[in-house]
Each structure stands twice: as C-alpha cells, then as structure tokens.
Structure 1
C-alpha cells in the first residue's frame, strides 16, 4: 500500500541514497557526514551566509546547524568569529583543512551520484528535476495560500 504513494517512494529513495552516499565517503576513510559536507559547501559558496540561511539551504533546523557548525569548528574545518560589522552575526570561513576535505570528498560524491543515476539518461534526469521542482512549487504555493487563509480566518 505505501509503495503506491509517490511521496513514500521518493522518501525511500532519498533515505537509501543518503545511506549509500555516506557509506561511499566512509569507505574512503573521510571523517565527515553528508550534513557536515553540505554545510561546508554552503559556507564556501555563500561566504556571508547566516545560520538561518544555511538551515534553509540544507533543510535542517537552526539548532542542528548550530551543532554542525560547532563540530566543524572543533574538527578544524571551519573558522568562526563574531562579525565586526554586526556583533549578533558570525563570520564563517573554511580553513585550509576544510577546503582540502571538500576536494577529498569530491570524487566520492561524483561516484555516488553516477552510481545512483546509472540507467537514467541526462534527459530523464532533467525531466525528473523539473517534475520535482513543480511538486516543490505546488506545495510552496498551497502552503502560502493555507497560511494566508488561516490569517484571514483569524483576522
């Protein structure tokens, strides 16, 4: 019965891919989780990013992001300082070790993705991305409408 629900199948595929991808990184002896790797990538790609934006980018809550950042600092992969411009904000920058780790993980990530998508040609992958984006937008639109309806009903 659950296998008939597309969202169950989608969640099952995502969970299996995350397990598979983590195992690929672990086999290479690299001490990092997928979530830690994602956070490092966001910080590398968006140097002025705040914790709230990181949380949105990697689909985690802010408390989880704070724990991940603390761990990355302890591992020596990330430098964190209080912003001189805004003392409420943290400035974060990958260390040389953090940059090297991203480079070391890149082949595992590429191999994981290639294996996971084997048997699917590029056109199919692009179509799937389009369909998933439509689902995301549909849920975002309806979520906003539902939120607006709740506000209207309680105004």
Structure 2
C-alpha cells in the first residue's frame, strides 16, 4: 500500500488546497472568496442560472449556495429574482458591479495560471483527467 503522501486522494486534496490558496491574495484584493470568484465567473458565462443549476455546476450543496448568494447580493454583485410563473424557481444574475468585477477576477486567474509550473499541454491533461474524476464520481451511487 502506498504511503499516505503517495495516495491519489491525498495528492488531489493537497493540490486543490494549494491552488485555492494561490488565489487567496488576488481575490482578497477584490474582496472575494474562492467560491464567490467561481460563482462570478460562472455567471459571466451563463448569466441568469437557477439556484439549483448554479449549485450543481459549482458542486455546492444547497446549504452552501444560499448563504453564498445572499452575501454576494449584499455586496451588490448578484441579483436573485423569483420566477413569476413558478415562485419556487429563483434565477441569479450579475449586477453591473458584478459584471465589472469579472475583468479583474479573470486577471487573478491568469496570474495564478502563470505561476503554475505546467506546460499548456500538462494543464490541459490535468484539466481533462480532473474532469474525468468529477464525472465518474458524479455517476457513483453512494446509497
């Protein structure tokens, strides 16, 4: 059996923490946490997503997404709107302030990307393998 530091689960956990921590200084300048940053960039690409769709795409639980969106709404970055046809459905859109922040947020992403010691091909491979892991985990029945 591999030593704990050689196990895939530990390497993925530590790598995730390292990359997320690399974002911290740049996001702090913008007053954002990493989950807020991810939400901002997702809405930049797909504005007006429903809360459930947003949570699914960000891999967040409902108990996490609701307070996150409430904080971002208080910050003036997003707007939550109930559907007139189905008041259970709430869509989330960027405000003008949120849209303006996507440029500097994207710059932080580039800064972190430039610090990674990976070739573009290695980054693509890592992204592809990571997505395969996510996809395979999402199809596993945990019951």
Report the more deviating stretch, 16-25 or 121-130: 121-130
Task: Quote the residue 2:109 is aligned against.
Answer: 109
**Structure with max Cα Rg:** 1
Q: Name structure 1 gaps, 5 residues minimum.
A: 148-155
Separation in structure 2 between the aligned mates of residue 31 and residue 90 of structure 1, nearest angstrom: 25
1:3 to 5, 10, 18: 5
The normalised TM-score by structure 1 is 0.80
Displacement of 1:3 in angstroms is 0.8
3-state SS in 2 of match to 1:92? strand
Task: Quote the residue 1:16 is aligned against.
Answer: 18
Separation in structure 2 between the aligned mates of residue 135 and residue 93 of structure 1, nearest angstrom: 29
Displacement of 1:132 in angstroms is 2.7
Separation in structure 1 between the aligned mates of residue 85 and residue 44 of structure 2, nearest angstrom: 20
Larger relative contact order (Cα-Cα within 8 Å, sequence gap ≥ 6): 2
* Conservation of the 8 A alpha-carbon contact between 2:81 and 2:91: yes
Separation in structure 1 between the aligned mates of residue 50 and residue 80 of structure 2, nearest angstrom: 11
The normalised TM-score by structure 2 is 0.86
How does 1:1-155 map onto structure 2 within 5 Å? 1-26=3-28, 29-116=29-116, 118=117, 120-141=118-139, 143-144=140-141
Q: Check 1:100–1:80 CA distance in 2 against 1; reply closer, same or farther (3 A cut).
A: same
Displacement of 1:91 in angstroms is 2.8
Report the more deviating stretch, 75-84 or 45-54: 45-54
* Conservation of the 8 A alpha-carbon contact between 2:27 and 2:37: no
Q: Check 1:101–1:115 CA distance in 2 against 1; reply closer, same or farther (3 A cut).
A: same
Q: Aligned-residue CA RMSD in angstroms?
A: 1.9
3-state SS in 2 of match to 1:85? coil
Q: Check 1:138–1:90 CA distance in 2 against 1; reply closer, same or farther (3 A cut).
A: closer
Report the more deviating stretch, 40-49 or 11-20: 40-49
